[in-house]
A = this chain, B = another copy of it.
Amino acid sequence: MTPLAERVLAGDPRAIARAISLIEDEDPASGEMVRCIFGRTGQAYLIGVTGPPGAGKSTLVDRLVGEIRSPSGQGPQREQRPPRVGVIAVDPTSPFSGGAVLGDRLRMQAHAQDEGVFIRSMATRGHLGGLARATGDAALVLDAAGTEIIIIETVGVGQDEVDIIRTADVSVVTLVPGTGDEVQALKAGIMEIADIFVVNKADREGADRLVATVEANLALHAYAGGEWRPPIVKTVATSGHGVAELAAAIAAFREHSRAAQQTRRKTRSEYRLRKLVAQRFMAHLERDVLAPGELAAIVDRIATREIDPYSAASDLLERAGLKKTT
C-alpha cells in the first residue's frame, strides 16, 4: 500500500486530485496505485452522459449533481444522506485552446461549498486508447475514495466516447433540437448505447419533432416483455426543468438492471484488460526487441512502398518471439 493509495482510500480530496493527475500523465506510479486500491472498488454507480457538442451536457450534469445532492432530491441512490458524487468530464481540449482547467474552476464554483462533490476534467493525450483507460482508472480512484455516484461526461460521439460510455452502468444520450440534421445525430452509433434519451433545450423550436424522431427510431426495435425501453426525458438544463425526471429515470434504470449490471461490468473489465495488454506489448516491442530508431526505419520502408504494413506487422511479431500470424 503506497501512502498516496492510503490517502485516496481515506477520501482525501487532494490525494484524489493527485492520483488522477498521475493517471493523466501516464506516470508509472499510477499503475502501482491503482493496483493498491483496486480491491476496494466496485461500489460506485457509473452514469455516462454523452451527446454532440453544444447539447448542453455540462450544464445538465451540473444540474444533475445538484439534484442528486439535494436533501429532497431524486437520484439513483437515496439514503439518509445524499450520496457523494464525482464528475469526470472527458474533455478533448487541445493544448492549443487549453480550456480544461478554467472550465473545471468555473464548474466547481456551483458546488464549491459542497464537500460531497468532486469535479475533474480529463484531457486527451492523443494516445491510442489512452483516454478511455485514464477515464476508467480515474473512476476507480473516485470509487475507492467512497464516491457513490460517478458521472462520466464526454463530448462528441466518436468511437472512443462510445467505448467509454458503453461501459458505464447507465448511458444517457443527450440530444438537442435545431441542429438541422437530427437524424444524422441519431445515426451516430448512439441509438444502441442509450439507456435514457434526454432532449435538452426542450423549450426550443423543433423539440417535439426531435422527440418524435427518437420515438420513431425506438419503434423500429421490438422490445420484449420486461426489456428496458429507453425513455425520452425533456429537459431545459439552464432552468433545471426536467432534471428531477432525469434523476428518477436513472434510478428506475438502476433498479431495472441490477442483474445486467454485472454483465456490463465484465464488458468494462474486458475492454480495459485488452487495451492494457496491447499497450504493454507495444511498449515491450519498442523497448526490448527493436533497436532505437528501428521502428521509424520500418515505417520509412512502408512509406516508400518497399514493404507493405501487413508483412511488416508479421515480421515484428515474429521478432517478438511469436510464430508467423499471417
Contact = CB atoms under 8 A, between A and B. Distances in A.
Interface of A: 31, 34-35, 38-39, 41-42, 52-54, 56, 58, 91-97, 99, 124, 128-129, 131, 155-163, 176, 178-192, 201, 217, 220-221, 262, 265-266, 269-270, 272-285, 288, 295-296, 298-300, 302-303, 305, 308-314, 316-317, 320-323, 325-326
B35 A308 contact: yes
Contacts of A179: 52-54, 176, 178-179
A139 to B, nearest CB: 13
Contact of A186 (B97, B190, B270, B284): B97
Given A179-B179, A325-B283, A276 B313 contact: yes
Contacts of A295: 270, 273
A158 B39 CA distance: 32
A269 B302 contact: yes
A217 B98 CA distance: 11
Nearest to A91: B187
Nearest to A38: B308
A159 B158 contact: yes
B277 A162 contact: no
B184 A54 contact: yes
B276 A96 contact: no
Contacts of A275: 128
A249 B52 CA distance: 28
Contact of A280 (B56, B129, B313): B313
A273 B302 contact: yes
A284 B157 contact: no
Nearest to A272: B309
A39 B192 contact: no
Given A96-B220, A157-B92, A185 B131 contact: no
A284 B325 contact: yes
B95 A192 contact: yes
Contacts of A178: 178-179
